[in-house]
Amino acid sequence: MGYVLSNDGFEQVVQALSDKYRLFAPVRKKGMGRFTDIDVIMYDEVNHADEIELAQKSDYSFKEFLTPLSETLFYFTESQCREAELPDKPVLIFLRSCDMHAVRRLDQIYLDNGPEKDWFYLRRRNLVKFALIGCTESFENCFCASMGANKTEDGYEFSVELSDDGVRCDVAEASLEKLFQANALRPETFSPAFVTENKVKVEIPKKVPASILKDPLWDEYTTRCINCGRCNFVCPTCTCYTMQDVFYTDNGKVGERRRVGGSCMVDGYTNVAGGGQYRRTNGERMRFKVLHKIVDYRKRFGYDMCVGCGRCDDVCPEYISYTNIIKKVFDASADENKEVSDK
Amino acid sequence: MKNSHIPFSSKILDTIIHKDLKNPYIPFPSEILEVIKHTEKEYTFRMEFKGKCKPGQFFEVSMPKYGEAPISISGIGKNYVDLTIRKVGRVTDEVFEHYAGQTLLLRGPYGNGFDTDLYADGETVVVAGGTGVSPVRGVIEALSNMPNAKDKYVIAGFKSPSDMLFRDDLKRWADKLNLILTVDGAPEGYEGNIGLVTKYVADLPLRDPANCKAVVVGPPPMMRFTIIELQKKGFKDENITVSYERKMCCGLGKCGHCRVNDKYICLDGPVFNYIEAKEMMD
């Protein structure tokens, strides 16, 4: 059932929800962006409706709750080892359709790649429910429609999007109906807004030739890319992590094992003991990353990894366009795909 | 921001011993039964282990506060596994401070490992370089005990005579199968073979290279050139098996570091048929 709420009504709803859930939502941080006087929108815990940024796309993704940039797994004290604690209050994450689609990608890797489920991901995932932020417009660099991630029909407790009177919400979880009803201006039947067309469009090649691995198209990124890894850290589907043990300088008998966000663009990602390293140039690393998003992941799991949020293009300090790379890969694969369609 | 009361879930484990089998990241303690020194930098740690495992699989060896490192199984016994460790990284340096009677923490075994039955019939060649001998030691051991061991060839290459691993094994194997031991370089007066393993592939006196099976493990350039030599000699791609070394933080298909194209070395490998391996590019 759908409802129109005033801003005050929505505040009442958020207040009530925050008793039951820890709420994570995109929050605008004034002046904390990458340049002077530029804001950044990133995920944080909120307790009030007006903290939630509903008008713009977030620069960083929701994944930071499920896969924190740095997460302590164990504490070591002499011969003892203790699993790190996690607050067990349920969590509600506000996110857009592209990110909802990204959840499936995170689940795929952490819960369904190989025989073991990832314990530390699972214990967070089990706490999480979602609130969908409807997209009334497409933002800069979004190409969700091309990736089929523009629309989300289920998996959320309720949706929320800005409207003339405040917000409107589509409530999917029956137990929340009363709360919304009590704080609504009026009921209204509608489906969450979604984007049907983006300015940026890409076509994913169905098949790529083996020669793509050695194609000269990657060469320019060896010099253009500065392997800062920002594209990986903003990507809602990047899941790599690196184990890291630390011990405390004040007491060397005590320490912890963490996992920290990994980036296939950054030095050290493939280093093995003794100095071996696999992808040395940034061009090779770019190939590894891009082909994972649009080719290799699909080969393994049957659908594309990229959800078309465009955050990598938003964040790149060298103005490298990932969508442009996809276009180049598509062009380089023209013959291959022609054969496919001829058959 | 309102700081509501957060109830914490308490999952205190009084020791590191597996109380809850569900968390695959918790290592188990394993006693060091014996330490075998090969070179200044390479020791074999014989670790207490009673579970199932295969040559070519690996364990994550854990040194709390220093980290974890993937180490391949170099030998399997009734109550133990051998882990041959080279002192070249943060974790492995620390492991070398441990002696028989002490414990190390392990997770695993992980990976597919070698199927030694594949090499029972006909001629087989194992080409291994340096620490690449570790993962195939179990394969060579199996070959040396086969009734047709005369048809089995092993080319083992090391940097120099002082870098040789498994000296006692090498002597035993030399009596049972055709062992060609070579070093890249040696001080003057060294009487053994000198030269890269590739040189000795060409000279193998095989009856039927087209049906001969090969196992190749070692540093990437050594593997590349050895396979070229095998192909020149008439080996079929489908008869060649390789094993790959990559960075691995989990061994569970989650951390991503070991991925090559659509393959995870820790899950789908580290042992691959060359038909599959030749399509893989880092």
Q: What is the pLDDT of residues A224-251, one digit of tens each?
A: 999 999 999 999 999 999 999 988 888 8
Check whether B276 has a pLDDT greater than 80.
Answer: yes
Q: Tens digits of per-residue pLDDT, A250-298?
A: 888 889 999 999 999 999 999 887 778 899 999 999 999 999 999 999 9
Tell whether A116 is within 8 A of chain B (Cβ): yes
- Residue B172's pLDDT is 93
Question: Residue B12: is its pLDDT beyond 60?
Answer: no
Q: What is the full DSSP assignment across A23-83?
A: EEEEEEETT-SSSTT--EEEEEEESSGGGS--SS--SS-THHHHS-SEEEEEEEETTEEEE
Structure-model confidence comparison of residues B181 and A76, the more confident one: B181
Whether residues B247 and A19 touch (CB distance < 8 A) is answered with: no
pLDDT at A35 (0 to 100): 84
* CA distance to partner chain B, nearest, from residue A199 (Å): 30
Mutate which of B65, B95, B264, B279 to test chain A, going by most A C-beta atoms within 10 A?
A: B65
CB atoms A244 and B67 under 8 Å: yes
What is d(CA A81, CA A83) in angstroms, rounded to the nearest whole number? 7
Pairwise pLDDT comparison (B156 vs A274), residue with the higher score: B156
- Which of A118, A239, A291 should we substitute to test contact with B (largest number of B Cβ atoms within 10 Å)? A118
Which pLDDT value is given to residue A252?
81
Average pLDDT for chain B: 88
Do B252 and A109 lie within an 8 Å CB cutoff?
no
- Which pLDDT does position B5 carry in this prediction? 31
Distance to chain B for A114, nearest Cα, Å: 6
Q: Tell me if A288 and B282 make a contact (CB, 8 A cut-off).
A: yes
Q: How many CB atoms lie within 10 A of CB B147?
A: 7
Q: How far is CA A246 from CA A43, A260, B24, B141, in A?
A: 26, 12, 20, 40
CA A103 to chain B, closest CA, distance in angstroms equals 15
Residues of chain A neighbouring B245 (CB-CB closer than 8 A): 272, 276
Q: Please, which residues 43-62 of chain A have a Cβ atom closer than 8 Å to chain B?
A: 45-47
Res. B16: pLDDT tops 50: no
Task: Report helix angle A334-342 to A322-332, nearest 10.
Answer: 60
Percent of chain A with pLDDT over 70: 99
pLDDT of residue B11: 33
The pLDDT of residue A339: 59
**CA atoms of B146 and A97, how far apart (whole Å):** 60
| Calpha distance A165→B50 (Å, rounded) | 68
Residue of B nearest to A289 (CA): B261
A58-87 per-position pLDDT tens digit = 999 999 999 999 999 999 887 788 889 999
Report residue A338's pLDDT band, with 50, 70 and 90 as the boundaries: confident
Calculate what percentage of chain B has a pLDDT beyond 90: 70
Given this model, what pLDDT does residue B18 score? 40
ipTM comes to 0.92
Distance from the Cα of B206 to chain A's closest Cα (Å) equals 34
Instruction: Inform me whether the C-beta atom of residue A302 falls under 8 Å from chain B C-beta atoms.
Output: no
Tokens for A279? 């992808």
Single-letter code of the amino acid located at A254? V
What pTM value is reported for the model? 0.90
Residues 6+ away with beta carbon under 8 Å from B165: B38, B39, B42, B84, B130, B131, B133, B134, B158
With an 8 Å Cβ cutoff, are A81 and B8 in contact?
Answer: no
Has residue A202 got a pLDDT over 50? yes
Contact call for A18 and B16, based on CB within 8 A: no
Cβ of residue A304 closer than 8 Å to a chain B Cβ? no
Amino acid A340: pLDDT: 53
Cβ separation B254–A19 shorter than 8 A:
no
A144 has pLDDT over 70? yes
Which residues of B fall within a CB distance of 8 Å from A19? 4
pLDDT average, residue stretch A304-322: 96
Nearest to A286 by CA among A315, A256, A240, A326: A326
**pLDDT (tens digit per residue) in B40-99:** 888 999 999 999 999 999 999 988 778 889 999 999 999 999 999 888 877 888 888 888
